[in-house]
Amino acid sequence: MFSSFFSTAPPVDPNAPNFHPVSSGKDASQLFGELEPRDTEWTCAGGFAVETQIWYNMLEDGRSLMCQVIHSALGVWYPTIQFTCKIYDPASGESTWKSINVTNFVTPPPGLDKRSSKADQFMITHKENPGSDTPESYTIRVNLDNELQISLDVTRPASAPGWKVGKGPQGGFSYFGHDPANAEGYVVHRFWPLHHATGTIVRKGHAEAIRGPGMFVHAIQGMRVNLVASRWNFAHFISPQHGGCTAIQMEFTTTEAYGRHGDKTGFVTVNVGSLVLGGKLAAVTAETKYPGEALPESAGVMSRAVHSKTTKDAETSYDAPTELVFRWAAPSIVTEAQGPIDATLRIDVGQPDAYKGLVEKVDVLAEIPYVIKTMVNYVAGTKPYIYQWYNPAKLNVHLPSGLIEGVDGEVELEGMLYNEATFIS
């Protein structure tokens, strides 16, 4: 805090870039960075930072399951650690939601590294099995209260390695501030694009076996949450066809303060994503859109989440999407099936008074800890909402031969799409 009062650094051109997106300086061949062990370690950074690990699963019986650990640091205050869980049944519309502040959070637990963590309410253990078909796994054991306990074993197949955009220690990072080496803040995402989960859920004393594919993400917002982004989009598509196929996107749009020419040139949109086809990680995508600049209709690399149709939602006052289009394009990274890949997913989510597959409209300030709530509301005057949908969807893919056995040129994949649209300001 005091360094800004007594800085002796030379003056900075106020019109110089003060946002450096993860895609900067990377061509198509440099997008895929395979995860290293330390990429998914807990950093538990001080200052203002929110760090999270999330496991999303689409169960064989049609339900969705999300488990999340959130580590929120707020300057001089002691960090808040939450465990949240949501189970959603699209057939009945029933949603089970739990969010608790945990106690005695520790990473690493004794005998493990910082990819594992524990608290009084949970134990998450990362394991390695190198050289096998499932080289990494997590065991998740959670006792949230007397009404809900969860036991999951999550394995990542060797054919779908974890990824970040770009190789090396800086892979995955977008930096805020004029100097990336001394950044004011950052955003970073690391993914497992496909995993398989088996386990048990106990609700109100009733145990049920569950299984299904999913994804994992470790993400950090390394600055005040209200300064990072004005919008977020997230898409997670899974199809069981052809040995398992997934499509992931994570997108954020900066606030007005961070852009190509300094303050007031923001609202830069950064999107990263991946495609798993035929059970194999086939492409990693990343694209940046600057305000006032139109993206081409087609390109060798695309990573886009477009609210193609919107309407005013009277409940939230935001122009919310009624239709979204997600695009992925990049060269195949599968050695034996080289060539361009291009995928499109279009989803109609209906009108605000009759949404299709709406899981929830989350009033964020009603869910987050009081101290964060006060800071966000006071500093930004915001009322953030997260729209969550879960719907049947189709992914249309143009792909090189050999990528999916028996498929040459084009395929339509049927599956389920979980997607979020977040409005912050």
Report yes or no on 148 lying in a domain: yes
- Structural tokens at position 77: 């205050």
**Block means of pLDDT (10 residues each) for the chain, length 425 residues?**
42 89 96 98 93 98 97 84 96 94 97 98 97 98 94 98 97 97 97 98 95 98 91 98 97 97 97 98 98 96 98 96 98 97 98 96 74 49 88 98 94 98 92
CA 313, 318, 319: angle at the middle one, nearest 5?
A: 80
Q: What per-residue confidence (pLDDT) applies to 8?
A: 45
Report yes or no on 9 lying in a domain: no
Report yes or no on 45 lying in a domain: yes
pLDDT in tens, 227-247: 999 999 999 999 999 999 999
Distance, in Å, from the CA atom of 342 to the CA atom of 118, rounded to the nearest integer, reads: 41
Report yes or no on 206 lying in a domain: yes
DSSP three-state, residue 371: helix
Q: Please write down the HEC assignment for all residues of 4-60.
A: HCCCCCCCCCCCCCCEECCCCCCCHHHCEEECCHHHHCCCCCCCEEEEEEEEEEECC
Instruction: Evaluate the CA torsion angle 49, 387, 209, 55 in order and state its sign.
Output: negative
Q: What per-residue confidence (pLDDT) applies to 172?
A: 98
Distance, in Å, from the CA atom of 36 to the CA atom of 169, rounded to the nearest integer, reads: 9
- Spell out where 258-351 has E strands: 269-277, 280-289, 302-312, 319-331, 340-348, 350-351
Report yes or no on 82 lying in a domain: yes
Biggest CA–CA distance in the chain, Å, is 66
pLDDT in tens, 279-323: 999 999 999 999 999 999 999 999 999 999 999 999 999 999 999
Please state, in angstroms and as integers, the Cα–Cα distance from residue 27 to each residue in 30, 118, 286, 315, following that order: 5, 39, 10, 42
One DSSP character per residue, 133-186 reads SS-EEEEEEEEEETTEEEEEEEEE-TTS--EEESSSTTTTEEEESS-GGG-SEE
Q: The CATH number of the domain where 28 resides is what?
A: 2.40.370.10
Domain that holds residue 296: 20-423
Report yes or no on 5 lying in a domain: no
Count: domains in the chain: 1
Q: What per-residue confidence (pLDDT) applies to 11?
A: 64
